[in-house]
Amino acid sequence: MQRRTLLGAAAPAVLAAAGARAQTARSYATRPVRIIVGVAPGVGTIDLTARAVAEVMAESLGQPVVVDNRPGAASIIAVEAAARSPADGHVLFMGGVDAIVHSFLLAGRQPMDPFTDFTPISRATRDHWMVVANPELGVNTLADLARVGKQRSGELNYASFGVGTLFHLVPARLAQRLGFEAVHVPYRGDFTSDLLAGRVSYVVQPTALLLPHVLAGRLKALAVLSPERIPQLPDVPTIAEAGYPDLGFNMGIILFAPGGTPPAIVFQINAAYDRAAKAPAVRSRLADLSLETVGGSVQEATDYTRWMLNFIDDMREKVLGAAR
């Protein structure tokens, strides 16, 4: 398998041929639609987003839309459950490309293919990530974290939702750039209580999970990874302002259907998600967590999936020494 090459080839032109027909087609859904996510209820961007859009998607599809939580194994359990489901639009997967490809690689298994085992439907979110530390660490800036990390090299740790996920790779890369060794602690579920108690030193996470604790002063935000400061934390510098522009990005999650889902169904799901993403109530609910829904076309979802796959390849190469 060659580095930085797609595992499969997308065929958006095939989907485009069915786009206009799908806009007027009768809803395919004959029973509840499940969105499988690889995290526990209430944990992180993926679950929060899925729950926020479910009601509006249900209105469009004419059936209930429910969130099916399958945590564990860096989302491999959820990915496999979704990929093995019938390709009829009644089971979807919401998550990142890292779960589909790189989690399998680090588990020593053949990875899934985001373009054949799955079909990208819509870019779900544009996430703002931030570096957050426990206040007992005594750091207020990334420069402080670098100083403490070097003084206590090998003692600091960071939490993630599993080996090979961006929640692992990004804080590992941050420690590399700051010049200290840190211990990775993967969690099956929520790590927040351990972070609040000081058993976890720092994390790099989307703002959705930890922003309330930062605003309450229970955690300390050191930098945001977006190219711009975010309204909820106007005094927190960007990572570029802190001197590390190469670590800046806006990540997001994607809504997928199993591979082989008929194009007309793909476009109906895309239209349902796009409507939900633009609903004022949904946007307001997620904006409070500094989370933006995106939506857009199937082609845009395909292009973003390709970009995300290459980004994670680069991150894997820098942290682990090999992309794929």
pLDDT tens string 230-243:
988 999 999 999 99
pLDDT tens string 98-131:
899 988 887 889 999 999 999 999 999 988 899 9
CA atoms of 40 and 18, how far apart (whole Å): 35
pLDDT average, residue stretch 168-188: 94
Q: What is each CA distance from 214 to 171, 300, 302, in whole angstroms? A: 18, 33, 34
CA atoms of 219 and 221, how far apart (whole Å): 7
CA atoms of 203 and 226, how far apart (whole Å): 16
Contacts for 169 with CB less than 8 Å, ≥ 6 apart: 98, 312, 315, 316, 319, 320
CA atoms of 265 and 29, how far apart (whole Å): 9
Token pair recorded at residue 260: 């082989």
**Residue bearing tokens 């530390």:** 133
pLDDT average, residue stretch 159-171: 85
Running DSSP on this structure, what letter comes out for residue 228?
A: S
pLDDT tens string 4-63:
444 444 444 444 444 444 444 578 999 999 999 999 998 778 999 999 999 999 999 999
Checking if the pLDDT of 303 tops 50, the result is: yes
Checking if the pLDDT of 254 tops 60, the result is: yes
pLDDT tens string 282-299:
999 888 777 789 999 999
Q: Are 158 and 171 in contact (CB under 8 A)?
A: yes
Q: What is the mean pLDDT of the chain?
A: 89
